[in-house]
Structure formats: structure tokens, C-alpha cells
Amino acid sequence: MIERKARVSIPPTLGIILAGGLATRMAGQDKARIRVGTTTILERGMARLGPQCWRLIVNGEAARFADTGLAVVTDSVPDHAGPLAGILAGLDWTATYLPGVEWVVSAPCDCPFLPRDLVARLHYARTNAGTPLACASSAHRVHPLAALWQVSLRENLRGALVNENLHKVETWAARQGAAIAEWPTTPVDPFFNVNTPADAAEADRLSALFPGI
């Protein structure tokens, strides 16, 4: 018997690139501005995620990303509360400025090979599972920052951050019953992330070896 996949319509979805981290392992380099091939990781992320989204914004310091032409949202929770604070900032921004948009997709700024079907497959996963969020996975490893979030989750998330001091994305996502969408890792893991200078060199090597990925 052949399993047939139901068609899933993709609702308007805002994209947010998470770039508020401190990059402590990059020897002072700005991860988002590291070049992979001829473009920076940030430019690659914008080019890959932008066409999938109704609008694209970035989470980080306003002055740092003023040249991108994107709206820049800063954390409302102080003291570098981590990526959950960036996700909350994106949900709040969407509720304020795009009240008709119910979904936000997040992606870390250090993934140069983000999949071009990220939004579609995450929507498919959360629709099938009946959950308010979905996370990407590759090689059976979940990537909770490459995820789809329902805007209505924002007060729940704010409470976890402010009242519980909860900072682990995977812990909070698991509470909501996150659906998982799996990607293949050939020829390159689409969620390969650049955390160290050695990672940056490997990303540059892979981009030359597999042009167009």
C-alpha cells in the first residue's frame, strides 16, 4: 500500500535570523560576517530563508545589522538570556507589526547551508502532528533553533524565561510537543553550523566542493 502525503498549504510565515549570541569560540570574529565562498554566512542565510518567508527580520544589535536592510529586533529579556529570548523577540515583533501572521520560523545565523524547503517541511511536520511548533533534525539530531513557532506561544515562552529562568530551547520546545522534520545529510548536512575557526574553514571547503548547495 502506497502512503500518500496530504497537501499542506503554507500560511504566511515570518522568518527571523537569530544573531544575538556572543560567539565566544570565534576568537573575536563576528560569525554572521564570516565568508563562505564569495558571501558571508548571514548573506547566505538571507538568500536561502528570505524567499520562503512573507518577511525576514534579524535578532541582534541594531547597529551591527543596520546595513542588512532588515528590521532588527533586540531581546526584551536582559542579560543575554539566550536564543529563547531572540525567539520571543520575533514572536512579539510579529504580534505587534504583522498581527495577521500566525507563524514564525527561526534559523541561527551560523548555518551556511540552510535548506531551501525549511518552511514548507516544518509546516508539513507540525500539521501532521497537530502541534504548535516543529523543529528540524538531521542525522537524528534535533536542531531546536531551526524551528517553526506559533505566535500564540509567546506568553507561555515569556513566563518560562522571566519566571522560571529557563534558557534551554529544547526543554521548552519539548513541553509544547514539538514535531520533528528530518533532513538528509548528503552531500552536506544542511544544519552544519560554524562555531569555531575550524568550522569556518570546513564550511568554505564544502562550499567549493559542492557549489550550489
Q: Using CA atoms, how far apart are residues 154 and 112, in angstroms rounded to an integer?
A: 28
Domains of the chain from N-terminus onward: 13-209 (3.90.550.10)
Distance from C-alpha of 106 to C-alpha of 16, rounded to nearest angstrom: 5
What is the Cα–Cα distance from 23 to 179, expressed in whole angstroms?
29
- CB within 8 Å of 129: residues ≥ 6 apart: 177, 179
Single pTM value for the model: 0.92
Distance CA 34, CA 99 (A): 34
Q: For each of the chain's 213 residues, which pLDDT tens digit applies?
A: 333 344 568 999 999 999 976 554 555 678 899 999 999 999 999 999 999 999 999 999 999 999 999 999 998 887 777 899 999 999 999 999 999 999 999 999 999 999 999 999 999 999 999 999 999 999 999 999 999 999 999 999 999 999 999 999 999 999 999 999 999 999 999 999 999 999 999 999 999 999 988
